Structure 1
Amino acid sequence: MKSHPNVPKLIGYSIDKMLAVVYDLKAKYPLHHIIREDVALCTRASMAAKIGHILQSFHDKGIGIGCIESHSILLDQEDNIYFCDFGLSDRVQAKLNKINSQVTTNQGYGFWAPEWDSPYSKWTLERDIYAYGILVLELVKGGIGKITPNPLEYVRKLESSDAAILGFDINQLVKRCLSENPRERPKIGDVAEALDKFIPNPHQHDAI
């Protein structure tokens, strides 16, 4: 991937015993910290919407990120968002590109779409959409316990917890993101736009 304002410049890396990377970025903390902290719902929804719009800008160019979870997204001092994709992002041409090696992080359970298990699995943008759905649920609901090697169990806990928190329309969009049928998943931009409408307008009271 060429340079992008939401992807930090990779300075160096090491594969001795474990993967370690060095980015040109003064990161404040990973997105995971927001999930666990006492942060207002509108702030969480705003962050989820920003991430969605950035992801949609990649998808509009046929680029899939491939590693979307709260530990691989960093925020700087001004809360700008950066994806640390460990080299998985790539163009998806006619949905025929195939990932030859699986790259995960220590916290990476639960963010791979169900179709990943197929031995003939091919890389599609729909997998990003599935992972984004989980990320939205984690952000707005604060996470439900620790992510385990059983991703479906974790997703069910997220889906069942305080289902009305975002309203019916957004919940339905997020549930579609987690559909086992990739063709039923919405565009990430549609979810981000729905979240934009949920966030209070700071100038709303000024107009009254």
Structure 2
Amino acid sequence: MFLKTYGTSKPTRYTFSEVKKMARRFKEKVGQGGYGSVYKGKLPNGVPVAVKMLENSTAEGGEFINEVATIGRIHHANIVQLLGFCSEGTRQALIYEFMPNESLERYIFSNGSNAYHQLLVPNKMLDVSLGIARGMEYLHQGCNQRIIHFDIKPHNILLDYNFNPKISDFGLAKLCARDQSIVTLTAARGTLGYIAPELYSRNFGGISYKSDVYSFGMLVLEMVSGRRNSDPSVGSQNDVYLPEWIYQKIVTGQDLVLTLDMAEEEKEKVRQLAIVALWCIQWNPKNRPSMTKVVNMLTGRLQNLEIPPKPFVSSENQQMA
């Protein structure tokens, strides 16, 4: 029923044999996720595309329709464009514009390789953060319906030819009215380490677009530190919870990035980016900025941002939390 009503508008619906031809019989695999595999392909007009073949498609039927319905109508410089889809029985595919520089995850956790140094210099970090923030602001404020992504993390931020970031993977996204502040979910959704506290426990507040803001904050903390955010509940004794480690450095005025030789001005930029991120991960959703405010903080050249209150329960109390 959905496909009938939707079939007339963009994106294009393809047959499975067209998809097979497009993906050159699935020879060149470029990625793998929980949902299935991604192959490099070409549209008949020569435009390179990524073809995402969904496996376990009976279970993922909802996610597939969600993705087509949610991002099929979106055009934004910082959101990956869905060009087409295929649905023939259990064969389901999504066709996206091709992102040659893969995901942000590869650069953040590349252990000081050249790629990391090229992309994660302070100015580029700021550009990437701002691009993601603009894409998220559009999802939260710019569409007829508010779209909450629920899985913002480095793996879902893809980079185009110029390393501009684009948000991808809307399988968990939820559409809601723009004036609806609180969303009801039956279970926490997202990826461990990026999930806002209110998704685990209502004591922290209602679930809303502010849950995405939290995930964005965690992503930026990983970017400025080059470290993975180990989830507080699984951290070993010697592994300090990332936000806590960064907060201490900010409060005591220490440098965050030790691997790069940076001018004072650049160090300050990284510090201010970290402060924006710490505002985004406040435990109480009411204390987190909206993405519009984040964009303003990032474009206002980040001067004199106030250090937020401690955004976490400190390690000693974690067992109780």
TM-score tier after normalising by the smaller chain length? 0.7 to 0.9
Number of matched pairs: 189
Corresponding residue for residue 73 of structure 2? 3
User: For residues 39-61 of structure 1, what are the alpha-carbon distances to aligned partners after superposition, in whole Å with 9 as ceiling and x for unaligned?
Assistant: 31111111101111111111114
Corresponding residue for residue 202 of structure 1? none
**Which structure 2 residue ranges, 5 or more long, are not aligned?**
1-69, 110-115, 236-240, 250-254, 257-266, 303-321
**Which structure 1 residue ranges, 5 or more long, are not aligned?**
200-208
Query: Which of residues 72, 93, 110 is equivalent to 2:193?
Result: 110
Corresponding residue for residue 23 of structure 2? none
- Could you say what the CA RMSD is over the residues aligned between the two structures, in angstroms? 3.1
Q: Which protein has greater RCO, CA pairs closer than 8 Å, 6+ apart?
A: 1
- 2:300 is paired with a residue whose SS is helix
- 1:157 is paired with a residue whose SS is helix
Corresponding residue for residue 204 of structure 1? none
Matching of residue 124 in structure 1 with residue 208 in structure 2 = yes
Corresponding residue for residue 126 of structure 2? 45
- 1:91 is paired with a residue whose SS is strand
Contact 2:217 2:277 in 1 (8 A): yes
Contact 1:111 1:131 in 2 (8 A): yes
Tell me how far apart the structure 1 counterparts of residues 244 and 199 of structure 2 sit (CA, whole Å). 18
Contact 2:131 2:164 in 1 (8 A): no
Corresponding residue for residue 277 of structure 2? 174
The change in CA–CA distance for 1:51 and 1:109 in structure 2 (over 3 A counts) is: same
Corresponding residue for residue 243 of structure 2? 155
Query: Which of residues 199, 213, 222 is equivalent to 1:138?
Result: 222
Contact 1:74 1:82 in 2 (8 A): yes
Question: Which range is displaced more, 118-127 or 175-184?
Answer: 118-127
The change in CA–CA distance for 1:118 and 1:12 in structure 2 (over 3 A counts) is: farther
The change in CA–CA distance for 1:80 and 1:149 in structure 2 (over 3 A counts) is: same
Question: Which range is displaced more, 130-139 or 64-73?
Answer: 130-139
User: For residues 133-176 of structure 1, what are the alpha-carbon distances to aligned partners after superposition, in whole Å with 9 as ceiling and x for unaligned?
Assistant: 1122222332x2x3434368233234445367437765544322
Tell me how far apart the structure 2 counterparts of residues 75 and 35 of structure 1 sit (CA, whole Å). 13
Contact 1:132 1:188 in 2 (8 A): no
Tell me how far apart the structure 2 counterparts of residues 48 and 97 of structure 1 sit (CA, whole Å). 26
Tell me how far apart the structure 2 counterparts of residues 196 and 46 of structure 1 sit (CA, whole Å). 10
Query: Which of residues 184, 187, 190 is equivalent to 2:293?
Result: 190
User: For residues 85-135 of structure 1, what are the alpha-carbon distances to aligned partners after superposition, in whole Å with 9 as ceiling and x for unaligned?
Assistant: 34222223423432345554xxx3210001111279854101011111112
Note the C-alpha offset of 1:196: 2.3
- 1:24 is paired with a residue whose SS is strand
- 2:151 is paired with a residue whose SS is coil
Q: TM-score, normalised by structure 1?
A: 0.74
Query: Which of residues 158, 162, 173 is equivalent to 1:78?
Result: 162
Aligned residues with identical type, % of pairs? 21
